[in-house]
Amino acid sequence: MKKSHLKTGLSKSKKEYSLYKLITSRNIGALTEKEQDRLADSKVAVIGCGGIGGIAIDLLARTGIGELTIADGDVFEISNLNRQIFSSYSYIGKNKAKAVEKRLKDINPSIKVNAYDRFVDSEESASKIIKGMDLVVDGLDNVLSRIYVSRAAKDSQIPYVFGAAEKTRGYSTIFLPKEQSYESLFVLPSNGKKIDSKMKERLQKTGGCFSILGITANLIGSIEAMQSVNYLTGKPFISAPDFIHVSLTDSIPFRVAKI
């Protein structure tokens, strides 16, 4: 955990810093002033602005992350309304990243937002988006994009906050740069290999989720946000190979265990 280099709001104007303090004032008690200052000085990228990514973005903005980078090339659809916190009927057909950027300026005008209205389609594109970030959060819904982002994060020595969900189940963990990778832990066929056209085709057939409750997606995104806050403030967090498992229709809905 690196030491925060916040200069008590000197990177913001006096007006911006006063607004930030007011917005985050109810955090104090759950967080110390010093921990809140660390969040103010933190830079987090969330790749994917849908079900899981959307609620993670919303909560990180409200918690006071100083700079958020968001990326999504998709547009809102009617089927998103059951779970995606930023979706609304009037937003159907609009790019998710740009719509979320506009909303974030209403939620917390004191934070910086960088929005990319494009998909992550290579390690190189992922590397450009996450450059300079302290943490990368997974709001993705496919294995191939996760591989690109997790590889870029590992190469850049940035922790990767993973989360996935379907139906009423989900799980989350943090992959640390010097520990086991996402591909290695899930024993993916791409592990240690170049992503050529044949591998892309194979990976695109892997996974996929066609049924999910909004409650599940938003819960996993909330866990990702809390994991992010814990990591950035130096509090305990769950990292691979351990996962936070959620199964909302089981007698024990929450547990920490390996896959």
The gap from C-alpha 196 to its chain's centroid, in whole angstroms, comes to 27
pTM greater than the 0.85 cutoff = yes
pLDDT of residue 14: 76
pLDDT of residue 126: 98
User: What CATH architecture does domain 22-258 belong to?
Assistant: 3-Layer(aba) Sandwich (3.40)
58 vs 52, 75, 142, 189, CA distance in Å? 10, 18, 21, 34
Beta strands in 91-168 (DSSP E): 112-116, 135-138, 160-166
pLDDT digits (tens, 9 = 90+) for 101-143: 999 999 999 999 999 999 999 999 999 999 999 999 999 999 9
Helix (H, G, I), strand (E, B) or coil at 123: helix
Give the contacts of 224 (CB within 8 A, at least 6 positions apart).
Answer: 52, 56, 137, 138, 161, 163, 172
Helix (H, G, I), strand (E, B) or coil at 208: coil
* Domain range summary for the chain, segments of one domain joined by +: 22-258
pLDDT of residue 100: 98
For residues 216 and 206, give the distance between their C-alpha atoms in angstroms, rounded to a whole number.
21
Give the contacts of 119 (CB within 8 A, at least 6 positions apart).
Answer: 71, 72, 73, 74, 125, 145
pLDDT digits (tens, 9 = 90+) for 2-46: 333 334 444 567 777 789 999 999 999 999 999 999 999 999 999
Q: Which of 79, 97, 74 is CA-nearest to residue 89?
A: 79
The gap from C-alpha 129 to its chain's centroid, in whole angstroms, comes to 13
pLDDT category of residue 210 using cuts at 50, 70 and 90: confident
Phi/psi-derived region of residue 251, left when phi > 0, alpha when psi is between -120 and 50, beta in every other case: alpha
